[in-house]
Copies of this chain bind each other. A is one copy, B any other.
Amino acid sequence: MYQFKKHVAVISSGAVAGKLESEGPLKSYFDIISNDSKFNMDTWEKAESEMIRISAEIAFKKASIKPNQVDAALFGDLTNQCNATTFGFLEHRIPLLGIYGACSTYALSIGMAGLLLQGHENGMMLCGASSHYSSAERQYRFPLEYGCQRTPTSQTTVTGAGTMLLSNHLNSDIYVREFLPGIIIDAGIHDVNNMGAAMAPAAFDTISKYFKYTNTSPSDFDLILTGDLGFEGYKILCDMLNQEGYLNTRNVQDCGMMIYDREKQAVNAGGSGCGCSATVVSGYIISAMKKGIYQNVLLIGTGALLNATSVLQKEPIPSIAHLVRITKEVFI
């Protein structure tokens, strides 16, 4: 586990979201929302790149910095070869460190950027992740035109991109403090419509290691936020934590459960996709921390390392979970 000695300040953040997300409970926290799932582009894939481009631009503008002042961007998405990221960074011309961790990508980008910022002076890094319902669903499951019925355990891939600008020399009121990268966990899940069950054991592995390494328990944090187990995976994680003796899981929440209103929106087990935790954290959580609602947050990015070919080959869907701790200044 990495405890950062040099400060890693969250200078700004940007959140871009699609139509369904802008109809959910967090709509007022997103910087840009669009009723057009193509974001004025001619394909869904280009739309995702456009969301990435805009989400980076928002972070730069909020911090009043130019892209060339940033050392590098750590970014990834769900499209094969992180192709949305490739085209999303064409215009900004920032050195790009491509990363991949499925839906854990956002936490991975924050953790790695924080760690990279330990090693040099006057550093600034952009981190982030994105997903798009329409570019992801047809790639991982079925063409959308089939209109396949989705099972109750299936999650809804969020259309959104989120960024965070981190600096080791500028100050802020929010800081990234620790990073615990996860290992690959195979829970033996084969159902492409139950990512929650695949990811929960990975989340548990990383969270329980963190509590042991730091001699803490769930009640030491205002918020233990997984992103994104959804309603199905959340239940499994809470059960696993209870079995481990962590009986109070009141502070455990999940980005996939927060982004939509399950009662009013047909999202089945909740949100998923790299863009889920990216928009919830870049939009809502950072804003809530600024207001003092949360002081000490664990973000656990959870990724189901789903691949269409290996599923056809009857392989299971392994998962990974990366943890970062984000705090208000008072904890420094």
Chain B neighbourhood of A89, CB < 8 A: 183-184
What secondary structure prevails in chain A residues at the interface with B?
A: mixed
Complex formed: what's the CA distance from A183 to B68 in Å?
Answer: 11
Q: Which stretch of A95-103, A156-164, A230-238 is in the interface?
A: A95-103
Q: Is the CB of B97 within 8 A of A99?
A: yes
Q: How large is the interface on A (under 10, 10 to 19, 20 to 34, 35 or more residues)?
A: 35 or more
Q: Which of B2, B72, B307 touches A80 (beta carbons < 8 Å)?
A: B307
Chain B neighbourhood of A315, CB < 8 A: 46, 87
Q: In angstroms, how far is the closest chain B Cβ from the Cβ of A142?
A: 15
Answer yes or no: A292 CB below 8 A from chain B CBs: no
Chain B neighbourhood of A45, CB < 8 A: 309-310, 313
Q: Which of A285-317 touch B at CB < 8 Å?
A: 305-310, 313, 315
Q: Which of B5, B72, B112, B184 touches A116 (beta carbons < 8 Å)?
A: B112
Q: Is the CB of B307 within 8 A of A93?
A: no
Q: Is the CB of B181 within 8 A of A72?
A: yes
Answer yes or no: A86 CB below 8 A from chain B CBs: yes
Q: Which of A167-208 touch B at CB < 8 Å?
A: 180-184, 186
Given contact pairs A81-B100, A102-B81, A112-B116, A95 touches B307 in the complex (Cβ within 8 A): no
Answer yes or no: A252 CB below 8 A from chain B CBs: no
Answer yes or no: A79 CB below 8 A from chain B CBs: yes
Q: Is the CB of B309 within 8 A of A80?
A: yes
Give 15 A-B contacts (CB < 8 Å), ordered by A residue.
A5-B120, A45-B313, A72-B181, A80-B307, A83-B305, A83-B310, A86-B307, A86-B318, A89-B183, A90-B184, A95-B180, A98-B101, A98-B320, A118-B118, A118-B120
Additional A-B contact list (13), CB under 8 Å, known A2-B119, A83-B310: A5-B119, A6-B119, A45-B313, A76-B98, A76-B100, A79-B307, A81-B305, A83-B307, A87-B315, A90-B318, A94-B183, A118-B118, A119-B119
Taking beta carbons and an 8 Å cutoff, which residues of A are in contact with B? 2, 4-6, 43, 45-46, 72, 76, 79-83, 86-87, 89-90, 93-102, 108, 112, 115-120, 139, 180-184, 186, 305-310, 313, 315, 318, 320
